[in-house]
Structure 1
Amino acid sequence: MKGMIVSNPKLEFLRPALERWFDCIDRYNAVRGDNESPYWFDEKANLGLLSAAAWMAEMVTLEHTPSKKQVEDGDRSGRTDLYIATQEERVYIQTTQRWPRVNSLHLTQPLLDAASDAKKASYPSDLKLGCLFVTPQKTQHSATPEELQDMVDDLQKEHCCAVAWYFPYAYRKLRNEAGNYHPGVAVLFKEAR
Structure 2
Amino acid sequence: MQGMIISNPKLEFLRPVLERWFDCIDRYNAVRGDGDTPYWHDEKANIGLLSAAAWMAEMVTLQQSPTRKQVEDGERNGRADLLLASPETRAYFQASQRWPRVNSLNLTQALADITSDAKRLSHASDLKIGCLFVAPQKLQQGATPEELQDMVDDLQKEHTCAVAWYFPYAYRKLRNEAGQYHPGIAVLFKEARG
Partner of 2:150: 150
Write out aligned runs for 1:157-176 (5 A).
Answer: 157-176=157-176
SS at structure 2 position matched to 1:181:
coil
For residue 144 of structure 1, report the CA deviation from its aligned partner. 0.4
Query: Are residues 1:124 and 2:118 paired?
Result: no
SS at structure 2 position matched to 1:140:
coil
Provide structure 2 residue ranges, at least 5 long, that are not aligned to the other structure: none
For residue 71 of structure 1, report the CA deviation from its aligned partner. 1.1
Give distance in 2, aligned partners of 1:125 and 1:90.
Answer: 10
For residue 26 of structure 1, report the CA deviation from its aligned partner. 0.1
Provide structure 1 residue ranges, at least 5 long, that are not aligned to the other structure: none
Partner of 1:28: 28
User: 1:13-60 deviations in whole A, cap 9, x for unaligned?
Assistant: 111001000000000001011111110111111010000000000000
Counterpart amino acid of residue 152 in structure 1: V
For residue 77 of structure 1, report the CA deviation from its aligned partner. 0.1
Partner of 2:71: 71
Given the two structures, how large is their TM-score scaled by the length of structure 1? Answer: 0.99
Given the two structures, how large is their TM-score scaled by the length of structure 2? Answer: 0.99
SS at structure 1 position matched to 2:34:
coil
For residue 192 of structure 1, report the CA deviation from its aligned partner. 0.5
Give distance in 2, aligned partners of 1:2 and 1:34.
Answer: 19
Partner of 2:13: 13
Partner of 2:94: 94
